[in-house]
Amino acid sequence: MRKFNSTGTCVHNKHYMVDVSDKLQQIMKLINADEYFTINRPRQYGKTTTLSLLRKKLIEDFLVLSLSFERLGGESFSDAKTFIHTLYLNIRDDLEFQDEIDLLKVLDEMEDIDSFDNLSRFLTKFVKASSKEVILMIDEVDKASNSFILMDFLGVLRSKYLGKIEGRDETFKSVILAGVHDIKNLKYKQSNERAKYNSPWNIAVDFKVNMDFTSEEIETMLVDYCSERQIIFDMPAIANRIHYFTNGYPFLVSYLCKIIDEDIEGADKWVVGNVDEAVKLMLTRQTTNFDSLIANIENHKDLYNLVWSVLVDGKQIEYNLHTPAMRKGILYGVITNDDGWVRIHNRIYSLIIHSYLVGVLKTEESTDVLQFYPSIQFIKADGSLNMELILEKYMEAMKKLHDDKQDAFIEKNAKLLFSLFIKPIVNGKGFIYYEPVISDRRRLDIAITYNQFQYVVELKIWHGEQYFQTAQEQLYDYLVKEDLDIGYLVVHNFNKNKEFKTERLDYLDKKFFVVYV
């Protein structure tokens, strides 16, 4: 019986897999056009699996040399002779696996090569000796991304590629590198720090294939699962909900399905509500993916500030890869391009980052005055939240916190303070996340789900009556979109002699509960 896999390479006879035929077809167009390129995507984005599927698709018509730098130590890149010998051993292993006996005899001439000039001549001879056009794939190329030896090797490939175009050399039909970084955009320093060189990989074309899974692609994996398990459920609805939380991030898609299949109890586990339950379980677990997400944000102050601006301040920031922070955000899979605007890549990442930021805020001495409540007193008989009571208690807590010294702190951290207050109430049965309204680029501050109930809370700072009217319009629009009847407004006012109070408003056919703090 196959299973869902969230670690390592996925293979059809062991794992349920998304049908990525369309993506492979797009990549095949690059190969058939003799292009060189790098599949550069964040960790656990399906790069190795993609190479494996490509290889199976190509081997009937081409000789595919499939290598990986993953297991190589630093000594493999110490000098030209060592690197070339390592390359020889890896190619030999691959050819032996493919039973390419005649080419193995040719390859043995490579064993004693100790310079890149001689390697270039040998590669021409090797390609000519093959009865098929040769494609070179190298996975985990980041392992050597700071090595001048790798740059020299890429320089050989570049020179031969240009020679092939001019009709004076023969070389690989296509070269495919896979790694987190796009090698052609990196710069490398000499050890003496007196010069910088651009990567010679500027012959490579941009890799524009979208590696995120669509809802329809996710559904193909569920169809495969149902066929083998001989069960039936609403696959489109489940696929849409998985995509809602993951935005198609391959690792998150597979991990969610794995949790539903293995950790959700009951014969009818594949229902839409259990996708939410699986997300709750996922958020309690430590994974290298989540650890890397937070580490990358912590280790890069400019990326931290960008995430804060988008997620906490709710700023609409134009997507521009010329800025270092955005390049890092894309490199590590933290942000994505949403119709020309920056947003956190997916809702699960938003939840993780939000929880992390709330945890950081919790260490502030200023938050000690906040009183935290267990959820039981706020739960109604039908399992829904008594949001009015929650907001009234929040108002009381903020009344204790407000003073002239704290106002600047509160204004900067208003959304996180609200999250810090409500998180113990929601924990275990719901989510708190910041939800952008894509259609008009307006910002919904906080969305809360609890026991399948949904609540919308707009947090605003008082800037006058006109701004308050705009906030009501935004809240109304979202309530219409989500088919909700009641919305909530929390208005922070930093004027002197302000009044802490609650108010009920009717806005067209919707009702608002407003808290002034």
Three-state SS for 138?
strand
- Alpha carbons 20 and 24: distance in angstroms, whole number: 6
Residue 329 Rama label (left phi>0; alpha psi -120 to 50; beta): alpha
Give the closest residue to 251 by CA, choosing from 47, 50, 52, 44: 44
User: Is pLDDT of 233 > 70?
Assistant: yes
Are the C-beta atoms of 440 and 453 separated by less than 8 Å? no
User: Is pLDDT of 269 > 70?
Assistant: yes
Give the closest residue to 44 by CA, choosing from 330, 294, 333: 333
Q: How large is the average pLDDT for residues 356-370?
A: 77
pLDDT tens-digit map of 468-491: 898 898 899 889 988 999 999 999
Angstrom CA distances, 249 to 44, 215, 371, 441, stand at: 9, 11, 38, 23
Cβ-proximal residues to 418 (8 Å cutoff; 6+ apart), any chain: 394, 446, 457, 459, 490
DSSP character for 3? Answer: B
CATH superfamily of 21-203: P-loop containing nucleotide triphosphate hydrolases (3.40.50.300)
Cβ-proximal residues to 389 (8 Å cutoff; 6+ apart), any chain: 377, 378
User: What pLDDT is stored for residue 189 in this prediction?
Assistant: 42
Domain limits of the chain? 21-203, 215-285, 364-516
pLDDT tens-digit map of 68-107: 998 888 889 999 999 999 999 999 999 999 888 899 999 9
pLDDT tens-digit map of 124-158: 999 999 999 999 999 999 887 667 898 899 999 99
Q: Is the dihedral of CA 112, 116, 120, 121 positive or negative?
A: negative
Name the pTM for this structure: 0.89
Burial class (CB in 10 A: 0-12, 13-18, 19+), 65: buried
Report residue 297 as tokens.
């944000």
Average pLDDT, the chain: 89
pLDDT tens-digit map of 449-464: 998 899 999 988 888 8
- Alpha carbons 222 and 236: distance in angstroms, whole number: 9
CA atoms in the 13 A half-sphere facing the CB of 149: 21
Cα angle for residues 331, 140, 169 (degrees, 5° grid): 105
Give the closest residue to 254 by CA, choosing from 9, 16, 505: 16
The DSSP element (H or E) to which 44 belongs, if any, is none
Residue 187 Rama label (left phi>0; alpha psi -120 to 50; beta): beta
- pLDDT band of residue 413 (cuts 50, 70, 90) is confident
Q: Which CATH architecture has domain 364-516?
A: 3-Layer(aba) Sandwich (3.40)
User: What pLDDT is stored for residue 442 in this prediction?
Assistant: 46
Residue with tokens 């009044």: 499
- Alpha carbons 490 and 350: distance in angstroms, whole number: 21
Helices within 212-271 (DSSP H only): 215-229, 235-246, 250-263
- Alpha carbons 121 and 368: distance in angstroms, whole number: 71
- Alpha carbons 220 and 45: distance in angstroms, whole number: 18
